[in-house]
A = this chain, B = another copy of it.
Amino acid sequence: MTDTRYNLIAGGSVERIAALSDGVFAVAMTLLVLDLKAPAAELVHTDAALATALLDIAPRLAVFLLSFLTLGIFWVGQQAQLTYLDRSDRHLSWLHLIFLFFICLMPFSTTLMAEFLRLRLALALYWLNILALGLALLATWTRAARANLLKPDATPEIQAAICRRIKIAQALYAAAAALCVIDTLLSLGCIVVIQLFYALGPTRGPLSKI
């Protein structure tokens, strides 16, 4: 007898999780561009004046770049998981929705942190957002493994590699965030360096094992 409870038939499509995620990422990635406004034409009449006006909005561009970088890291991270998903279920769909909820918050957290570079609370919230994303990805992967939703080519080694990556990255982020008791800018600097390392880091060599 087939079990026909709704909760067993809902949420089974990996393709739709991927498509919704790509849509949410695409909107979240472009959200901060809306904050980039051209200077008022009546106030700017020379190249020098335009350069000055653009320097005023340079911090927003930096925030946009940082938000884009963070979203890119987690987009690659989620994609690495979805590639190994054979199918989904309702619980896994909801875990990915929770992940996407925190993705939506990322542009806001980044803006907040950039506005209040010297305040520990702003840095703590920024880090909490990164932590929430890491925990969500760990939860989706754990759920997928336990509920036998993975493809056969997701060997135990690969499963371990994905978990290890999330845990090491989050440990590094937490250590960097803890540096805010000394200085928030030092703390932020370390977080960005870790992010750049994960985005651009080597595929070979000892550092690639992190």
Contacts and interface: CB of A to CB of B under 8 A. Distances in A.
Taking the full assembly, how many copies of this chain does it contain? 4
A30 B22 CA distance: 12
A13 interface: yes
Contacts of A30: 24, 27-28, 31, 104
Q: Most chain-B Cβ atoms within 10 A of its Cβ — which of A22, A64, A165? A: A22
A183 B78 CA distance: 43
Interface in A157-209: 157-158, 160-162, 164-165, 199-203, 208-209
Contact of A11 (B79, B104, B161, B162): B79
Contact of A27 (B27, B80, B82, B105): B27
A203 B104 contact: no
B51 A6 contact: no
A122 B203 contact: no
Contacts of A13: 79, 82-83
Nearest to A15: B18
Interface of A: prevailing SS:
helix
A54 to B, nearest CB: 8
Q: Most chain-B Cβ atoms within 10 A of its Cβ — which of A6, A202, A209? A: A6
A18 B72 CA distance: 14
Contact of A38 (B44, B51, B112): B112
Q: Which 6 A-B pairs have the closest CB atoms?
A: A23-B26, A4-B157, A6-B165, A10-B80, A19-B22, A47-B121
Given A12-B80, A54-B125, A90-B203, 8 more contacts: A6-B80, A9-B161, A16-B22, A23-B23, A23-B27, A27-B27, A50-B121, A51-B121
23 contacts: A2-B158, A4-B158, A4-B161, A5-B161, A5-B203, A5-B208, A6-B162, A7-B201, A7-B208, A9-B84, A12-B79, A16-B22, A20-B22, A22-B23, A23-B23, A23-B25, A24-B30, A33-B108, A36-B108, A38-B116, A47-B119, A47-B120, A76-B94
